[in-house]
Amino acid sequence: MKVNNSDGISSRKLLGIAGTAWMFDAMDVGMLSFIIAALQAEWQLTPGQMGWIGSVNSIGMAVGALVFGLMADKVGRKTVFMITLLLFSLASGASAFTSSLAIFLVLRFIIGAGLGGELPVASTLVSESVPVEKRGSTVVLLESFWAVGWLVAAVISYFVIPAYGWQTALIISALPALYVIYLRLGLPDSPKFAAAQAKKTVSVFENLAKIWSKQHVRQTAMLWIVWFCVVFSYYGMFLWLPSVMVMKGFSLIKSFEYVLIMTLAQLPGYFTAAWFIEKFGRKFVLIVYLIGTAVSAYFFGTADSTALLMTSGILLSFFNLGAWGGLYAYTPEQYPTLIRGTGAGMAAAVGRIGGVLGPLLVGYLVAQKISVAMIFTIFCVSILIGALAVFILGKETKQQDLI
| Interacting residues of 223 by C-beta distance below 8 A, sequence separation 6+ | 331, 334, 343, 347
Give the pLDDT score at 3: 40
Domain 11-393 has CATH 1.10.240.10: no
Give the pLDDT score at 201: 57
Closest to 158 measured CA to CA, from 323, 16, 37, 56 = 37
Q: What number is the average pLDDT over the span 21-40?
A: 82
Q: Kindly give the interhelix angle for 217-238 and 337-367, rounded to the nearest 10 degrees.
A: 40
Q: What number is the average pLDDT over the span 2-13?
A: 56
Q: What number is the average pLDDT over the span 311-336?
A: 88
What is the percent of the chain where pLDDT is above 90? Answer: 18
The count of residues in the chain is 403
Q: Which one-letter amino acid corresponds to residue 88?
A: F
CB of 259 within 8 A of CB of 37? no
pLDDT greater than 60 at residue 174: yes
- Long-range own/partner contacts, residues 309-315 (CB < 8 A, 24 or more apart): 309/248, 309/258, 310/258, 310/261, 310/262, 313/241, 313/258, 313/259, 313/262, 314/261, 314/262, 314/264, 314/265, 315/265
Q: What number is the average pLDDT over the span 255-275?
A: 80
Give the pLDDT score at 393: 92
Give the pLDDT score at 380: 95
Q: What is each CA distance from 105 to 52, 169, 171, 321, 327, in whole angstroms?
A: 8, 17, 17, 27, 28
Give the pLDDT score at 113: 92
Q: How far is CA 226 from the centre of its chain?
A: 13
pLDDT greater than 70 at residue 20: yes
pLDDT greater than 70 at residue 202: no
Give the pLDDT score at 110: 93
User: Helix (H, G, I), strand (E, B), or coil: what is residue 72?
Assistant: helix
Q: What number is the average pLDDT over the span 73-83?
A: 83
CB atoms within 10 A of CB 327: 29
Q: Kindly give the interhelix angle for 306-330 and 266-279, rounded to the nearest 10 degrees.
A: 40
Q: What number is the average pLDDT over the span 352-364?
A: 84
pLDDT greater than 50 at residue 1: no
Residue spans of alpha helices (H) in 100-165? 101-129, 132-159, 161-164
**Range ranked top by mean pLDDT from 177-186, 205-214, 250-259, 380-389:** 380-389
pLDDT greater than 70 at residue 184: no
Please, which pLDDT band fits residue 391 given cuts at 50, 70 and 90? very high
Ranges 121-130, 237-246, 247-256: which has the least confidence: 247-256
Q: Distance (Å, rounded) from C-alpha 122 to C-alpha 119?
A: 5
DSSP string, 315-343: HHHHHHHHHHHHHHHHSGGGS-HHHHHHH
CB atoms within 10 A of CB 53: 22
pLDDT greater than 60 at residue 362: yes
Q: What number is the average pLDDT over the span 24-28?
A: 83
Q: How far is CA 161 from the centre of its chain?
A: 23
Give the model confidence (pLDDT) of 285-322 as tens digits.
999 999 999 999 999 888 878 788 888 889 998 999 88
Please, which pLDDT band fits residue 4 given cuts at 50, 70 and 90? very low
Counting Cα atoms < 13 Å in the Cβ hemisphere of 216 gives 22
**Which helix (H) or strand (E) segment is 278 a member of?**
helix 266-279
pLDDT greater than 60 at residue 8: no
CB of 314 within 8 A of CB of 380? no
Average pLDDT for the chain: 83
Give the model confidence (pLDDT) of 133-172 as tens digits.
777 788 878 878 887 888 888 788 878 888 888 889 888 8
CB of 297 within 8 A of CB of 380? yes
pLDDT greater than 70 at residue 7: no
Q: Distance (Å, rounded) from C-alpha 248 to C-alpha 252?
A: 11
Closest to 342 measured CA to CA, from 139, 92, 75 = 75
